[in-house]
Structure 1
């Protein structure tokens, strides 16, 4: 038996190495979730990060994390493929336009999405775990 339970109003799944999140959970979130939906057209993800992320204007780093879906341009609906993108607080985004010809991590997000593809991508570095003896307000107000 796996760690998934369901009733008419709740679905639950206990995550473990042996029992990861079922793709149906991601598909359900993509079908009817509250997250932003961004096209993978050239520049769209970079524009979204720069203009919709809470960014420190002096450092270019995001002040809070972001979570959104990326879909293949010209195809509609998550059944046609998507990327779920999580961006850590502190991720650096210099401008709304690409500054150089070299490919970077954001270009990877804008790559073509195969039909029916489901992928999760995490950008940036995970912050260190919060020690148990740290005040929540102190951690929330710490610098990026």
Structure 2
């Protein structure tokens, strides 16, 4: 598998890290800030290996919680087989506020290198405002 970097962005959210973590991992509320997600439901508690079922348009899909550092970082994995997309969220405390970093990468079989270019561009375009949406949602959440 070859890994292709898609996006590496950051956003400062004017809330404490524990509150941002709570909102980030409220999977049922994810459609309020996560692009392309119409509904989401966890199959288990937030833990490594847990599955998140989500609907995007007419498609039902799953995200896997691949890695978790409670309160600090979570990596979600989508796909499988020859192509896998990894979404990494990391929270960093900054003067009582939270800097959130989102890194997205695509893992693909070497023979799919040519096809991955279009996928990488489409993901980068659709996810570019994700953290701005998260900030807007988090700062207005009750």
Per the normalisation by structure 1, the TM-score is: 0.27
Structure (1/2) with the larger helix percentage? 2
Higher relative contact order (CA 8 A, sep 6+): 2
Per the normalisation by structure 2, the TM-score is: 0.28
Structure (1/2) with the larger strand percentage? 2
Which entry has the higher C-alpha Rg, 1 or 2?
A: 1
